[in-house]
Structure 1
Amino acid sequence: MGLTLGAIVLNVPDTTPASTFWSQALDYTPQASNPDFLIPPNRAATRLHLDSTDRTHLDLWLTPDTSLAAEITRLETLGAHLVEDWTYPENADFTVLQAPDGTLFCLIHP
């Protein structure tokens, strides 16, 4: 196969604060020629999850050596917050947060 997923396009209300939050949250770098395009440091492939019932969002996987609580705290200092009224399934392996611009994302814990 000659294709790889190059980017996930995330609809945001204002690209400037979104770029600030997501580049800090993910340790990505805004591309010099287009700061709305954020580049991962290791250029690793990105997964695409297809789901007919869920809304568009990012799933951010915690590395095995990362504490969920510490990562939530770090993201909250960047302006994110927990979505308190989310209905989770039993034994959920994810936590839902909201970026400062209102977009939802999930932290997936291994």
Structure 2
Amino acid sequence: MLRIGSVVMGASDVRRATAFWTAALGYVPREEPEDDWVVLVHPRGTGAQISLGLSETPVRERPRVHLDLYAGDAEDQAAEVERLLALGAHRVDWDSYPEDADFVVLADTEGNRFCVIDTGRA
């Protein structure tokens, strides 16, 4: 049976992206980061890895793959969004939010989009 081992994202500055994602998720580099590649893992070795690879490809406005980061409830979601913004993320002006969206679309320091989800809704 297969399982997800790593989600791979492109970065024009792998070290900057590494700094953002290690602070955002508490992940650590699996081995010494290089200028063009790093694999980040949960410190307890659980869950999917995040791999960051040097890329010259421009960021897509509507990427086909992105991360969903789960927050416990609306209060936790708001706090996490503010924390991620302070780390260098930015809000994405996205025109496809449903009226009662349980997610907020952000982009990391490299422009890679991700969502912060309020999982406390029924």
Find the counterpart in structure 1 of residue 65 from structure 2: 56
Give the structure with the larger strand fraction.
2
RMSD across aligned positions (CA): 2.3
Structure 2: which amino acid aligns with 1:27? G
Structure 1 residues 67, 22: CA separation in 2 closer, same or farther (over 3 Å shift)?
same
TM-score, structure 1 as length reference: 0.79
For 2:24 and 2:44, the matched residues in 1 are separated by 15
Task: Work out the CA distance in 2 between the residues paired with 1:101 and 1:85.
Answer: 17
Contact 1:81 1:97 in 2 (8 A): yes
Number of the residue aligned with 1:50:
none
Q: Helix, strand or coil: the match of 2:99?
A: coil
Partner of 1:74: 83
Instruction: Provide closer, same or farther for how the CA distance between residues 59 and 76 of structure 1 changes in structure 2, counting only shifts above 3 A.
Output: same
Residues 46-88 of structure 1, C-alpha deviations (whole Å, 9 max, x = no match): 4xxxxxx962211111135961221111111101111134420
Query: Shift of the alpha carbon at 1:34?
Result: 4.1
- 1:4 matched to 2:41? The reply is no
**Structure 1 unmatched runs, 5+:** 47-52
Q: 1:15 to 1:54 in 2, by over 3 A?
A: closer
Q: CA separation in 2, counterparts of 1:26 and 1:105?
A: 13
Q: 2-side partners of 1:13 and 1:108: how far apart? A: 26
- The residue type equivalent to 2:106 in the other structure is L
SS at match of 2:96: coil
Match of 2:107 in 1: 98
Q: TM-score, normalised by structure 2?
A: 0.72
- Report the counterpart of residue 41 of structure 2 in structure 1: 39
Q: Which amino acid aligns with 1:28?
A: Y
Whole-Å separation in 2 of the counterparts to 1:66 and 1:16: 31
8 Å contact from structure 1 (residues 86, 96) kept in 2: no
Gaps in structure 2 of 5+ consecutive residues:
49-61
Please tell me the residue identity of whatever aligns with 1:19. T
- More moved, 85-94 vs 95-104: 85-94
Partner Cα separation in structure 2 for residue 97 and residue 8 of structure 1: 17
Larger displacement relative to structure 2 (6-15 or 77-86): 77-86
